[in-house]
Structure 1
């Protein structure tokens, strides 16, 4: 579904990504792990058209999206849940969801999708008329995920969904990610909580200073001694 080949990104003279290559197959959860500054978020931003790579190739559903503007990618089926949630704080939960469906012209589909998401996220139903900025971090993360789902993406990119959340909410967010995947959405996940991410990932890639240094199944990397020492506290 997504194929990235020899991707190089620079910020002025800083070589942020160095010949990065990886793939995400249909139906998978693929996670990228690594220390802060290793290039994880830059990869997501390159795929989403928010930064321009100097060289390489990005294919999504067999289409070259390397230099496509971000706003042209949502109709292709690619949605991005950014780091820090980025909900529209002064709009209600329901208005946020409706904005997530801005490419959808069928009002009946929008209404139907909202109801399905309210079933999946009961707390959002309870707060549908509440301003998004007044909700807790966990609730805002659920809203950001639900808002992305309103466009019915085939691939959802998620950047640090558990950041800043209490442990009980972290587990809930990871459960939701698995349900989204089981319902048919492919997921590319960047997550600082490497342990949780590897537990749910079909496959994973480890980044260090802009390079992929290790890859394998989530289960295999959980058992890898180097990964344990560097990222799992083992």
Structure 2
């Protein structure tokens, strides 16, 4: 579904990705794990067109998207839930959700997807007239994911969905990610909580200073001694 080949991306003169290659098959949950500053967010930003790679290729469903605008990439079916959630604090929950559908014209389909978001996240239905900025961190994360789903993505990019959330809320969020995947959405998950990410993912990649240093089935990475000591805090 998605293939990155030798992708190098920069912020000014600083090279954040140094020849990243990875692939995601349709229907998979793939996770990227690594320390802060390893290039995980930059990988997502490069896929969604926010950062344009200086070398390499990104191909989505057979189409080269390396140089396309973010708007065009979203219209092809890639949606990103950014780190820090980035909801609109002065819009209501419902208005925030509908921002996800801004490229769509199919009113019946939008209504159907809005209803689906409320089914996945019942608390959003209760709070739909409330301002986004008054929600708890966990509710804001649910709103950010719900908003992304209103774009009807084929591939969902999730950047640190568990960041700053209580353990019970994190469990709930991860269950919902699995449900979204079962509903037919392919997921690329960037996550500091490597243990939880590898438990729900099919495959994983380890990024270190802008390079992929390890890849494989998630179960193999969970049991890899280097991964266990570096990212899972286990001996």
Question: The TM-score by the shorter chain falls in which range?
Answer: over 0.9
**Secondary structure, counterpart of 1:58 in structure 2:** strand
Aligned residues: CA RMSD: 0.8
Match of 2:156 in 1: 156
- CA distance in structure 1 between the aligned counterparts of 2:74 and 2:12, rounded to whole angstroms: 28
- CA distance in structure 2 between the aligned counterparts of 1:123 and 1:138, rounded to whole angstroms: 10
Q: Indicate yes or no: 2:58 matched with 1:58.
A: yes
Q: Indicate yes or no: 2:66 matched with 1:71.
A: no
Match of 1:121 in 2: 121
- CA distance in structure 2 between the aligned counterparts of 1:174 and 1:15, rounded to whole angstroms: 32
- CA distance in structure 1 between the aligned counterparts of 2:145 and 2:70, rounded to whole angstroms: 18
- TM-score for the superposition, normalised by structure 1: 0.98
Q: Indicate yes or no: 2:105 matched with 1:105.
A: yes
- TM-score for the superposition, normalised by structure 2: 0.98
- Offset at 1:218? 0.7
Match of 2:42 in 1: 42
Listed as ranges, the gaps of 5+ residues in structure 1 are none
- CA distance in structure 2 between the aligned counterparts of 1:175 and 1:228, rounded to whole angstroms: 23
- CA distance in structure 2 between the aligned counterparts of 1:11 and 1:27, rounded to whole angstroms: 32
**Secondary structure, counterpart of 1:198 in structure 2:** helix
CA contact (8 A) 2:161 2:173 kept: yes
- CA distance in structure 1 between the aligned counterparts of 2:20 and 2:106, rounded to whole angstroms: 39
Within 5 Å, give how 1:181-220 maps onto structure 2: 181-220=181-220
CA contact (8 A) 2:20 2:211 kept: yes
Aligned residues: 234
User: Stretches of 4+ moved more than 4 A in 1?
Assistant: none
